[in-house]
Amino acid sequence: MNDSIGGMNQAGPANLAQLQLQNLRYNLPEGSEADQLRQVAQDFEAIFMKQMLDSMRGTLNSENRLVDTGMAGEFYEDMLYDEYAQIMAKTGGIGLADMIVKQHTP
């Protein structure tokens, strides 16, 4: 399904993840290089966690969904899961951000 929202074509979760990764590349947070690395690593982990949550959410039956109010409910639920992923990444997540920082720190 190709929808155009705000002039941006969306062809699925893979393209959305690719756009989010490009956004990380061009919008570095301010601060020291170590702070930037930590923030980008956490953002990457959040993207990974969101993909994982979306896959898990896709296995739910329609009666087990959090919200089932059509397209508006899907948008709300997607934003909710995006926030879940951000919070998980900032509070330790699965440790992916820590591994990235460790690997890129001399």
pLDDT tens per residue across span 36-94? 888 889 999 999 999 999 998 888 777 766 666 778 878 888 898 999 999 999 998 89
How many secondary structure helices (H) and strands (E) does the chain include? 4, 2
What 8-state DSSP symbol labels residue 70? T
User: Is 61 in a helix, a strand, or coil?
Assistant: coil
Angle, helices 96-103/33-57, rounded to nearest 10 degrees: 150
Say whether pLDDT at 34 is over 90. no
pLDDT band at 99 (very low <50, low <70, confident <90, very high): very high
